[in-house]
Structure 1
Amino acid sequence: MINKRAAMSDNPLASILEMDGEERYDYFLDAVVEERELWILVNGDNQFLKIVSEEDGVGYLPVWPAEDFAADYAGPSGDLSPKAISLPDFFKKWVPGLSRDGLEVGVFPGADSELWITLPEELKQDLQDVLSGSF
């Protein structure tokens, strides 16, 4: 079995995290469509991480395109762990639930403070556009 972290020579993780918010958003769309899953962070009670913006009070669910990115964001504390959500589950369960709860989606938090925050339905549409090849 290959250690994924050891196989990441020259740390492409860091170079991707240094992209600006829009570049990370595009990377996220392509990676999620390719893998057919996205990643969130959950605590020991399986409750998902929700962040409320200090600036405008908007609550959002941070999501990542791969387990390594989510784990990197969580840090070494062990309080949060990555959890995969399949694309069909995200479309059928999460998008309606987030919309109902008034939560937005923070796509792929990175090294900078710039974050692409979008409505769940808009993210779903963008992902469907990439799936159909029209993005």
Structure 2
Amino acid sequence: MSNNPLEQILAMDGEERYDFFLDQVVEEREIWILVNDDHQFLKIVAEEDGVAYLPVWPAEVFAIDYAKGSDNLSPKAISLPDFFRKWVPGLSKDGLEVGVFPGADSELWITGPQDLKDDLQEVLSNTGF
């Protein structure tokens, strides 16, 4: 195991990263995405099944790490209320899933926007906020 906390977190499996994501997002009250120079968000289409998803991260440092080697992607924070109010309905309307916290492995937790909102709201209610 690495001494670098970033590497330790990125080495978690998809389910562990999902749980970490929920806790971090509830604590920080923001979700991070990547946008290009035209302020368009990064959308990925999975090769194996053609599922289109928005990759999201729990902190800027993870989004930056994912974008290494790409000149035109930069991290952008979305407040949790904005994500709930604007992004969840928009992603649902566009038929996009959410790829939660891509990491070092190829395993990725892909969920529906409403399911992610429900999970985040459950963690919020359990923390007393």
Query: What is the Cα deviation at residue 79 of structure 1?
Result: 1.2
| 1:89 aligns with one of 67, 82, 85 | 82
Q: Give the number of aligned pairs.
A: 125
Structure 2 equivalent of residue 117 of structure 1 = 110
- Tell whether 2:61 aligns with 1:68: yes
**Distance in 2 of aligned mates of 1:26 and 1:58:** 22
| 2:16 aligns with one of 14, 23, 28 | 23
Structure 2 equivalent of residue 130 of structure 1 = 123
Query: What is the Cα deviation at residue 76 of structure 1?
Result: 3.8
**Distance in 2 of aligned mates of 1:128 and 1:50:** 24
Q: Percent identity?
A: 79
Structure 1-normalised TM-score?
A: 0.91
Structure 2-normalised TM-score?
A: 0.95
Query: What is the Cα deviation at residue 11 of structure 1?
Result: 1.8
- List alignment gaps of at least 5 residues for structure 2: none
> SS at the partner of 2:53?
strand
Read off the aligned partner of 2:24 and give its amino acid letter.
Answer: A
| 1:36 aligns with one of 25, 29, 33 | 29
**Distance in 2 of aligned mates of 1:68 and 1:78:** 16
Query: What is the Cα deviation at residue 130 of structure 1?
Result: 0.2
Greater shift, 88-97 or 70-79, is seen at 70-79
| 2:48 aligns with one of 47, 50, 55 | 55
Summarize the alignment of residues 95-114 of structure 1 with structure 2, pairs less than 5 Å apart. Answer: 95-114=88-107
- List alignment gaps of at least 5 residues for structure 1: 1-9
RMSD between aligned residues = 0.9
